[in-house]
Amino acid sequence: MAKSTHTTQFEPLASESLTPWLSISQPVFHWWMEQSVKGVQPLMNVQLAWLESVSSAIQMEMEFCQAIAESHEKITNCLLMHHHSPKSAEEITDCYQQAMQGLSEAHLDRLKKVTELSNDFRSALWEEI
């Protein structure tokens, strides 16, 4: 019994099975693949830029979680620091406002960093293209 030696090139992104917007990008994709074979590896560099972006985003979220924890700590200390003496409504309000001011500043800083992160990622992506 003879074995078939029929070999076809596997193309995971065959044009007939793609949506129109993805089939338009095929020349760029094939160029990247050619460059990858040559050793420049633009796909790996794009993936590295993406992973660095994700890492920065996770770090920013952890910094914001830390700001939330610090805000809760301030409120807790304000309410429980001198539990034997009752706090006035004014003192509690002032303490709460200080804690929320810190949290608001952290959130605004977070939004600023997210915007910068998006711009940095786009720049890194276009450098690779």
- pLDDT one-digit tens code per residue, 60-96: 899 999 999 999 998 888 877 766 666 778 888 888 8
18, part of any domain: no
83, part of any domain: yes
Q: Containing domain of residue 96, as a range?
A: 41-128
23, part of any domain: no
Helix, strand or coil, per DSSP, at residue 7: coil
Helix extents (H) in the chain: 20-24, 26-38, 42-80, 89-128
Residue-level pLDDT at 107: 92
32, part of any domain: no
CB 75, CB 96: distance < 8 Å? yes
80, part of any domain: yes
Positions of the chain with pLDDT under 70: 1-23, 35-43, 82-86, 128-129
| CA 125 to chain CA mean position, Å | 14
55, part of any domain: yes
Q: How many domains does the chain have?
A: 1
Residue partners of 2: CB distance under 8 A and separation at least 6: none
